[in-house]
Structure 1
Amino acid sequence: MVNPHAGEVALTIDGERFVMRLTLGALAELEAAMAAGSLVELVERFEKSGFSTRDVLSLIVAGLRGGGWKGGAEDLLCAQIDGGPVGASRAAAELLTRAFSLPGELR
């Protein structure tokens, strides 16, 4: 079970359910992967719908690694993510929202 107050988001990949979380280390890895100068720049990219599929993949990989997964982006190239590209984008956006929301702000 995911804990939204801990910033967790569930994602099903190839029929297996994973819990994603953006830890400080995962965020640092994400900033580097997305060539973002700051966390604010990273969040703004998603808020303004200026993100690429590569950005979504980087965010999902960072979230999975923050949740304890040991894989990398190459492990997801042929993976089936529930909901396809739209489901992946929604999960990525929810992950960012939960990571930067106070508990009372979560829906």
Structure 2
Amino acid sequence: MRNALTHLSWEAERQIEHINRPAAEVDELALEFEESFRVAVGMVSEGLLPASLGKLLAPMDDLLSEMARSLGDEWSIDALRQSSVWADLRTLATEALCHLAERDRTGGE
């Protein structure tokens, strides 16, 4: 989860650099998050992660789901740079990373 959040929190140019590999696409950022999100939801429901983290992750999942259903072109390099939705995802990912760092610092309390 931490890697997926880190990649989503990066500025657009760093995200582009990350996905600028053979066979990589913008949607890989979303796919990486989705895989981790499903595991995190299970861990929250089992009490292994705090519910407060789930509350930070759920809006990110909602935004990515909306983007997947959208007729717009949110999955392009230009959108990654200019879209307010991608900017919102970066903000949410940064908040979730800060939450995880605080949890680590306080020993998971």
Give me the TM-score of the superposition, normalised by structure 2. 0.25
Name whichever structure is richer in strand by fraction: 1
Decide which structure has the larger Cα Rg and report it.
2
